Chains A and B, each alone.
Chain A
């Protein structure tokens, strides 16, 4: 149980285009979903926290107009990197948690490797 699916696993795009990443909780309803960014050989940096039906809460320094988060249902959250540039290239990971399981355990997707040319 507690499977989180993230799609796509890898995307290569041209500078200036927008990229959408999906995060789905497959066998549970996620109370909260999180989006992280991870640079090579570095730890996870929380970008934003989102609850279904409400606006995402962004961490300090994360541009909300650049990284659009939509949490339309209890099983789906999307991250759209708008007008992507090479500096946006990174590994993006989502996670989800639910109050029905151990409260603060986050279950992670497999990540999306974004490369902006």
Chain B
């Protein structure tokens, strides 16, 4: 079936290092992707999005890469900080109102 999944459930990085969070999606019809950050006990917070006609998009300290050939999405966080510790979800959209969320990756930043 159609699904969005993540390769790593937990990622531990040292403060100051770069983090890479991966996401695999299976629906080739998806044309829009979003990364969300969810801190404990809070709702998801929008980080960055990308449309399928792009393969890279940069924000402040974050970059999203899209590889449509292998249906892979990644979120890169530069100079990871303790405040980046959270669960990160990718979500895909297929020109409907709905977002399909992946299973999530927990990012742990240690000093």
Q: Do A and B bind?
A: yes
B67 within 8 A of A: no
Cβ–Cβ contact B93 & A104, under 8 A: yes
Report A-chain residues with C-beta under 8 Å of the C-beta of B78: none
B59 within 8 A of A: no
In-complex Cβ contact of B89 among A43, A95, A104 (8 A): A43
Cβ–Cβ contact B46 & A43, under 8 A: no
Cβ–Cβ contact A44 & B98, under 8 A: no
Cα–Cα, bound, A108→B42 (Å)? 9
- Count chain B CB atoms within 10 A of each CB in A41, A43, A104, A105 and give the residue with the most: A104
In-complex Cβ contact of B43 among A32, A97, A110 (8 A): A110
Cα–Cα, bound, A41→B36 (Å)? 15
A6 within 8 A of B: yes
- Count chain A CB atoms within 10 A of each CB in B32, B43, B45, B103 and give the residue with the most: B43
Q: Could you tell me the distance in whole angstroms from the C-beta of B104 to the nearest C-beta in chain A?
A: 5
Cβ–Cβ contact A93 & B44, under 8 A: yes
Query: Contacts A32-B97, A49-B98 hold; do A108 and B49 have CB atoms under 8 A apart?
Result: no
Cα–Cα, bound, A43→B97 (Å)? 18
**Chain A 55-81: CB-based contact to B (< 8 A → 1; otherwise 0):** 000000000000000000000000000
B11 within 8 A of A: no
Cβ–Cβ contact B43 & A43, under 8 A: no
**Chain A 22-34: CB-based contact to B (< 8 A → 1; otherwise 0):** 0000000000101
**Chain A 86-109: CB-based contact to B (< 8 A → 1; otherwise 0):** 000000010101000010111111
Q: Could you tell me the distance in whole angstroms from the C-beta of A111 to the nearest C-beta in chain B?
A: 5
Q: Which 10 A-B pairs give the minimum distances between C-beta atoms? A: A108-B43, A104-B93, A111-B43, A108-B44, A43-B101, A44-B101, A110-B43, A93-B43, A43-B103, A109-B43
Q: State the B residues within 8 Å of A (CB).
A: 32, 34, 36, 41-46, 49, 89, 93, 97-99, 101-104
The 18 listed contacts between A and B (C-beta, < 8 Å) are A6-B43, A32-B97, A34-B97, A41-B104, A42-B104, A44-B89, A44-B101, A46-B98, A46-B99, A93-B43, A95-B44, A97-B97, A104-B32, A105-B34, A105-B49, A108-B44, A110-B42, A111-B41
